[in-house]
């Protein structure tokens, strides 16, 4: 894109006329009708790249505030305000953000979609007006979900699909990037017959957000090491449930979690290893008497009678009642 055209876009005013199909006519934007979409696509691609580079789908805030460079202009992706529009975009925000919350207090409504609070209480505030415009035009945004302070899971594309000025809330749905791209390529727009698909995809994302939040909170509490063997490779660690998440009491809270390496997680789930309510690790009888190589000896048998490594904060340590319930299963398995 020639630089002069680019400047013209930003000096000009926008007199866009809404078009139910993708895009809108604009005498200035004619020079570069898809500039807004190009910035968004670049942002989506950049996010994907960062996740691949870090090998993690949770991104640090500093990285997101720095953002990337588009045509010589820096494009940050996030701001403390919640609704964020980088300067390069004329009117529609690029992202919405929610701060990390507890495991129960999530932002999803009974319809399964994300309920996003207005900025302040004035429906006409610039940020709120920007999201309303995104809804009318079917513009894709990024949703940053705070999992723990300073760390965000990025979800895109998301669309504003509802606006409730009395409840001061927008309704946000997640969609599938490929399906949306295909829809645009066909010229049918992003909003074609999408609501059932979006409800389904949003519910999947909701589950992922919960699991990811649980993992991150457990990893922090256990300082990213296995509670049984101290292994410190995050990529080999899981956040294990003491009581399974489909059972009563199986909540995604740190006292129902253990940071375990892959082998100890599997051994715990299979009742090869048990933990009693006093944080003592026990090895199933038959395994204790087995003879095999060093993995069996050092990895499992030598844990017999050793103590679980627990978080410093007492309120984050494994809940003794839950451990007792789980330990009964271990005893039965032996």
Residues making contact with Zn ion (CB under 5 A): 226, 228-229, 231, 261, 264
Distance CA 113, CA 1 (A): 38
Closest CB 134 distance from Zn ion, rounded Å:
46
Tell which phi-psi region holds residue 221, choosing left (phi > 0), alpha (psi between -120 and 50) or beta. Answer: alpha
- Sign of the alpha-carbon dihedral angle for 202, 203, 206, 207: negative
Closest CB 236 distance from Zn ion, rounded Å:
8
Nearer residue to Zn ion within complex by CB, 90 or 318: 318
Closest CB 276 distance from Zn ion, rounded Å:
18
Closest CB 331 distance from Zn ion, rounded Å:
22
Determine the distance from the C-alpha atom of residue 47 to the mean position of all C-alpha atoms in its chain, rounded to a whole number.
13
Bridge partners (DSSP) listed for residue 145? 98, 153
Closest CB 299 distance from Zn ion, rounded Å:
8
Contact 333, 284 (CB under 8 A): yes
Which residues have C-beta within 8 Å of that of residue 203, sequence separation ≥ 6? 112
Distance CA 33, CA 132 (A): 20
Nearer residue to Zn ion within complex by CB, 220 or 306: 306
Nearer residue to Zn ion within complex by CB, 97 or 259: 259
Q: What is the DSSP letter of 242?
A: S
Count helices and strands (H / E) in the chain.
10, 13
Nearer residue to Zn ion within complex by CB, 29 or 228: 228
Nearer residue to Zn ion within complex by CB, 51 or 309: 309
């Amino acid at each position: 894109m020639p630089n002069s055209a680019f400047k013209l876009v930003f000096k000009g005013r926008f007199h866009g006329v809404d078009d139910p199909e993708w895009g809108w006519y604009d005498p200035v934007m004619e020079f570069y009708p898809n500039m807004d979409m190009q910035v968004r696509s670049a942002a989506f691609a950049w996010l994907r790249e960062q996740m691949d580079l870090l090998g993690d789908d949770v991104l640090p805030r500093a990285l997101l505030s720095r953002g990337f460079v588009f045509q010589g202009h820096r494009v940050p992706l996030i701001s403390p305000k919640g609704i964020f529009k980088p300067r390069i975009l004329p009117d529609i925000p690029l992202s919405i953000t929610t701060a990390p919350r507890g495991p129960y207090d999530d932002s999803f409504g009974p319809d399964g979609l994300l309920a996003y609070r207005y900025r302040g209480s004035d429906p006409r505030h610039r940020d709120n007006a920007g999201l309303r415009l995104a809804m009318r035009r079917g513009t894709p945004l990024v949703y940053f979900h705070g999992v723990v302070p300073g760390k965000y899971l990025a979800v895109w594309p998301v669309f504003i699909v509802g606006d409730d000025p009395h409840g001061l809330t927008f309704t946000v749905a997640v969609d599938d990037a490929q399906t949306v791209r295909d829809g645009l390529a066909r010229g049918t727009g992003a909003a074609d017959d999408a609501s059932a698909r979006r409800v389904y995809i949003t519910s999947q994302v909701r589950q992922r957000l919960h699991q990811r939040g649980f993992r991150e909170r457990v990893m922090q509490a256990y300082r990213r090491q296995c509670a049984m063997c101290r292994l410190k490779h995050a990529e080999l660690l899981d956040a294990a449930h003491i009581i399974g998440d489909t059972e009563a009491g199986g909540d995604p809270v740190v006292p129902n979690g253990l940071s375990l390496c892959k082998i100890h997680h599997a051994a715990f789930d299979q009742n090869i290893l048990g933990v009693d309510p006093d944080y003592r690790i026990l090895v199933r009888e038959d395994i204790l008497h087995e003879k095999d190589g060093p993995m069996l000896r050092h990895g499992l048998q030598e844990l017999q009678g050793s103590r679980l490594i627990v978080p410093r904060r007492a309120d984050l340590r494994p809940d003794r009642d839950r451990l007792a319930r789980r330990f009964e299963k271990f005893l039965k398995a032996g």
